[in-house]
């Protein structure tokens, strides 16, 4: 444990206690050791008694920085779990984090551009348009084409703050792995390591720009999602320049209602977007909190999403994708036996797991869900329950699926907010069935042949040469194998001969010694011993020296 992480740990405890977050725990349920620990920090009193608990939580997260703000952003989407005041306060973490000094923003932008802002932009607005966890956004007009743009610049020193928090989290995760029996199965250290890669990736705006360009290209003809144009030539590690968009934040349901938005279509398009990104493109936006999603204003009856902040993108392996799709389908079809089987086939649980017991456990979690009205079903709740169930079996938490689960939670929160009656199953099922058909049916076979055909056609002229080379290689291999065999046989022959001589010499030496001690005439003893010595020397010298063939 480093000094920096001890200091940071103390800062976290101090913030939690000074914003009175310990008061949020019900008194009668607080364990004695927790009360004892609280007593040890008696000088850290709640200094914000005048504010309500939700506001205190928001302020504490703001104080603690980006890693905690991101956690707050995620929580803010769970309106089904939180009261309105809590969700309202946490939603402010999405784009209303206190801004940093505009003079610092100007310096950072000019450092990245290596020239004054005014050389490239007109109307640079010193007052930020928005200020979020990682960055601050300023508006301007691009001199070269007169288009409105935004300049997104990283907060000063944000990397060091995140690194300190990650170190602390890693240490906490290591401790957890040591303390908890099933800590290893949950792989907290690995999950944190994965989060580290993701969040550090978000600190590189050049990477974010490339992600945005890729996502934009994937949805260029889509009527469900629009990604703003990115000016790649003006993007750097700490600065990104892109088209300014106008839209209504997805969380502003009052404004959306006022413009007559078709909520049902919007919610269905949200689900469709999730599955298209995961299964069709294998490239999904993994930071879909409402601060990053806007709704178009041009055709409210046919609305589309506008996506920002492509810092965190997820991908899955082909195998995981396939098992996931099958899992979803089995789930929609209430085929719990198949779910249990899939978990074993994919290696997510040990092959020694009792399939029947596991199937029953999964059924116990999922079945009650189907008996509830749609607006009471929570995927988040099911995931949580499945996770708890998993602890009784040998389930290893897959880090690559954690991002996906988080995205699913966002989507659920969003869908719930827009259109509570949304039938997730009916919207997703046809899409998945179609995708599975494309993966395994004759269509898939045809597609694979079609995809590989140009490659095979390219290779065709080289076939005779390849065949000739392979035959030559085969002959060469055969030759060297024969050589190896010959060497081995010679080694064996030498070894047998030497062993034979050594054993005979030993017999002669023993006989010679006996004759020497027992008989009156000594010359037979001398002959035996002499012969024994000669044979021993010959046998020893004829030992094979090299065991390498």
Quick one: which of 20, 99, 303, 311 contacts ligand ATP (CB under 6 A)? 311
- One character per residue 478-507, x = contact with ligand ATP (rule: CB under 6 A): ------------------------------
CB of 89 to ligand ATP, least distance (A): 16
Only one residue has tokens 């049902």, namely: 264
Residues 6+ positions from 352 with CB-CB distance below 8 Å: 394
Burial of 405 (0-12, 13-18, 19+ CB in 10 A): middle
Residue 137 within binding range of ligand ATP, rule CB under 6 A: yes
Q: Determine the Cα–Cα distance for residues 153 and 162; give it in Å rounded to an integer.
A: 16
102 is in an annotated binding site: no
Residue 204 within binding range of ligand ATP, rule CB under 6 A: no
H or E element in which residue 421 lies: none
Q: Which of 80, 95, 165, 287 is catalytic?
A: 287
Residue 150 within binding range of ligand ATP, rule CB under 6 A: yes
Quick one: which of 12, 17, 18, 95 contacts ligand ATP (CB under 6 A)? 95
CB of 451 to ligand ATP, least distance (A): 36
Nearer to ligand ATP, 205 or 390 (CB): 205
Q: Considering only CA atoms, give the Rg of the chain.
A: 35
Contact 199, 154 (CB under 8 A): no
Residue 291 within binding range of ligand ATP, rule CB under 6 A: yes
- One character per residue 110-129, x = contact with ligand ATP (rule: CB under 6 A): -------------------x
The CB-based long-range contact list for 505-509 (8 Å cut-off, 24+ gap) reads 505/531, 505/532, 505/533, 505/534, 505/535, 505/536, 505/539, 506/532, 506/536, 507/532, 508/532, 508/535, 509/533, 509/536
Distances (CA, A) of 249 to 30, 228, 290, 415: 39, 15, 7, 14
Q: Determine the Cα–Cα distance for residues 128 and 311; give it in Å rounded to an integer.
A: 20
Residue 308 within binding range of ligand ATP, rule CB under 6 A: yes
Nearer to ligand ATP, 199 or 528 (CB): 199
Strand order in the sheet with 248-249: 225-226, 305-307, 293-295, 248-249
133 is in an annotated binding site: yes
80 among known catalytic residues: no
Query: CA torsion sign, 209 to 215 to 219 to 224?
Result: negative
Q: Determine the Cα–Cα distance for residues 46 and 20; give it in Å rounded to an integer.
A: 5
248 is in an annotated binding site: no
- One character per residue 241-260, x = contact with ligand ATP (rule: CB under 6 A): -x-xx---------------
Q: Determine the Cα–Cα distance for residues 244 and 147; give it in Å rounded to an integer.
A: 8
Q: Determine the Cα–Cα distance for residues 106 and 128; give it in Å rounded to an integer.
A: 11
CA 266 to chain centre: 28
What is the token pair recorded at 141?
A: 């007009």
The residue sitting closest to ligand ATP, measured at its beta carbon, is: 132
Quick one: which of 9, 156, 201, 228 contacts ligand ATP (CB under 6 A)? 228
Nearer to ligand ATP, 13 or 71 (CB): 71
Nearer to ligand ATP, 241 or 402 (CB): 241
> Total binding residues for ligand ATP by CB under 6 A?
19
Contact 409, 379 (CB under 8 A): yes
137 is in an annotated binding site: yes
Residue 211 within binding range of ligand ATP, rule CB under 6 A: no
What is the CA angle 182-183-185, rounded to 5? 65
What is the token pair recorded at 42?
A: 């008696």
CB of 249 to ligand ATP, least distance (A): 7
Nearer to ligand ATP, 129 or 386 (CB): 129
CB of 296 to ligand ATP, least distance (A): 13
Residue 235 within binding range of ligand ATP, rule CB under 6 A: no
Nearer to ligand ATP, 288 or 535 (CB): 288
Q: Determine the Cα–Cα distance for residues 227 and 211; give it in Å rounded to an integer.
A: 11
Length of the chain: 549
Residue 133 within binding range of ligand ATP, rule CB under 6 A: yes
Nearer to ligand ATP, 309 or 359 (CB): 309
Task: Give the residue ranges of the annotated binding site.
Answer: 129-137, 152
Instruction: List, by residue number, the catalytic residues.
Output: 287
Binding-site members for ATP are: 129-137, 152
- What is the binding site for ligand ATP (CB under 6 A)? 95, 129-130, 132-135, 137, 150, 152, 228, 242, 244-245, 291-292, 308-309, 311
């Amino acid at each position: 444990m480093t000094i920096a992480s001890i200091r940071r740990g103390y800062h976290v405890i101090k913030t939690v206690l000074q914003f009175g977050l310990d008061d949020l725990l019900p008194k009668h349920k607080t364990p004695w050791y927790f009360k004892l620990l609280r007593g040890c920090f008696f000088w850290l009193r709640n200094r914000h008694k005048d504010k309500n608990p939700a506001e205190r939580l928001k302020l504490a997260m703001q104080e603690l920085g980006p890693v905690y703000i991101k956690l707050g952003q995620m929580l803010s989407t769970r309106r089904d779990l939180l009261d309105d005041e809590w969700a309202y306060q946490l939603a402010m973490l999405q784009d209303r984090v206190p801004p940093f000094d505009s003079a610092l923003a100007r310096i950072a932008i000019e450092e990245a551009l290596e020239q004054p802002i005014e050389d490239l932009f007109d109307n640079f607005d010193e007052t930020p348009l928005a200020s979020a966890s990682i960055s601050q956004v300023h508006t301007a007009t691009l001199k070269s084409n007169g288009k409105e743009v935004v300049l997104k610049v990283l907060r000063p020193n944000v990397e060091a703050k995140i690194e300190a928090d990650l170190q602390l989290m890693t240490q906490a995760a290591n401790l957890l792995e040591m303390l908890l029996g099933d800590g290893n199965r949950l792989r907290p250290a690995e999950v944190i390591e994965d989060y580290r890669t993701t969040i550090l990736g978000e600190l590189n705006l050049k990477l974010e720009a490339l992600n945005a360009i890729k996502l934009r290209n994937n949805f260029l003809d889509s009527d469900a999602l629009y990604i703003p144009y990115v000016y790649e030539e003006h993007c750097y590690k700490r600065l990104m320049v892109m088209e300014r968009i106008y839209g209504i934040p997805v969380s502003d349901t009052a404004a959306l209602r006022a413009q007559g938005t078709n909520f049902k279509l919007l919610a269905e398009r949200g689900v469709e977007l999730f599955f298209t990104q995961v299964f069709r493109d294998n490239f999904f936006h993994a930071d879909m909190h409402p601060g990053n999603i806007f709704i178009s204003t041009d055709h409210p009856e046919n609305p589309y999403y506008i996506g920002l902040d492509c810092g965190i993108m997820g991908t899955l392996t082909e195998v995981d994708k396939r098992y996931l799709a099958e899992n979803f389908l089995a789930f929609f079809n209430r085929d719990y036996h198949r779910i249990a089987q899939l978990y074993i086939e994919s290696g997510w649980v040990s092959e020694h797991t009792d399939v029947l017991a596991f199937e029953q456990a999964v059924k116990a979690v999922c079945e009650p869900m189907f008996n509830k009205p749609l607006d009471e079903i929570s995927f988040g709740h099911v995931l949580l329950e499945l996770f708890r169930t998993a602890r009784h079996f040998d389930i290893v938490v897959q880090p690559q699926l954690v991002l996906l689960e988080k995205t699913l939670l966002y989507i659920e929160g969003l869908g719930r907010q827009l259109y509570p009656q949304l039938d997730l199953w009916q919207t997703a099922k046809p899409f998945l069935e179609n995708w599975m058909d494309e993966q395994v049916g004759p269509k898939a076979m045809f597609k694979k042949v079609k995809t590989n055909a140009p490659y095979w056609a390219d290779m065709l002229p080289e076939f005779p040469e390849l065949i000739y080379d392979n035959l030559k290689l085969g002959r060469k291999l055969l030759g060297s194998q024969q050589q190896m065999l010959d060497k081995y046989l010679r080694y064996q022959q030498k070894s047998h001969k030497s062993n034979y001589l050594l054993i005979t010499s030993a017999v002669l030496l023993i006989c010679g010694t006996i004759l020497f001690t027992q008989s009156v005439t000594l010359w037979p003893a001398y002959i035996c011993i002499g012969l024994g010595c000669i044979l021993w020397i010959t046998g020893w010298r004829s030992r094979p020296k090299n065991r390498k063939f």
